[in-house]
Amino acid sequence: MTSRVSVSKESRRLKYELIYRVFESNVARTGKAEDWPEMVKEFHFCPDRKWRADYAFPNDKLLIEIEGGVWSGGRHFRGVGAIKDMEKYNEATVLGYHLVRFTPEQIKGIMAIRTIKRWFDNKRGITSKNESLFP
């Protein structure tokens, strides 16, 4: 018999897998239309550590992190986890990377795509309309 906790964990895991797949598909579709390079999953950006960014555009030095547990006090938002994330993000910055961070809810909608588009537009010297990030 499966416990209620494991069923809940499994359904949550499947929910987030779906959210990530939709995000990846949206980035691929938008990226093709906007002539972005291909996005890479689990990009190892630091030669001295095992750190990986959730997603990256390596040649453009753009890292994308999805931060879960915002409302539940997850690892990224509690003491040691937050400090370790700061160390990782600071090292990425020292290595010349740009970092954008989103919650799973933000990658479900259009906020993440709009932010990435604005980042690429800015890099290319294109003045993009500063659309509201919060529909």
In the chain, what percentage of residues exceed pLDDT 90?
64
> How many domains is the chain built from?
1
Q: pTM of this prediction?
A: 0.82
Domain with 94 in it: 4-123
Residue 100: inside a domain, yes or no?
Answer: yes
Residue 133: inside a domain, yes or no?
Answer: no
Q: What's the pLDDT band for 99 if we cut at 50, 70, 90? A: very high
Angle at 46 between CA 100 and CA 60, to 5 degrees: 45
Residue 129: inside a domain, yes or no?
Answer: no
Q: What kind and span of H or E run contains 75?
A: none
| Residue 13 pLDDT | 80
In the chain, what percentage of residues exceed pLDDT 70?
81
pLDDT digit string, tens, across residues 107-126: 998 999 999 999 999 999 99
* Residue 87 Cα to chain centre, angstroms: 17
Residue 73: inside a domain, yes or no?
Answer: yes
CATH label of the domain that carries residue 93: 3.40.960
SS3 64: strand
Q: What's the pLDDT band for 10 if we cut at 50, 70, 90? A: confident
Residue 30: inside a domain, yes or no?
Answer: yes
pLDDT at 21 > cutoff 70: yes
Looking at per-residue pLDDT, the higher value among 1 and 8 belongs to 8
What span, in angstroms and rounded, lies between the C-alpha atoms of 64 and 112?
9
Residue 61: inside a domain, yes or no?
Answer: yes
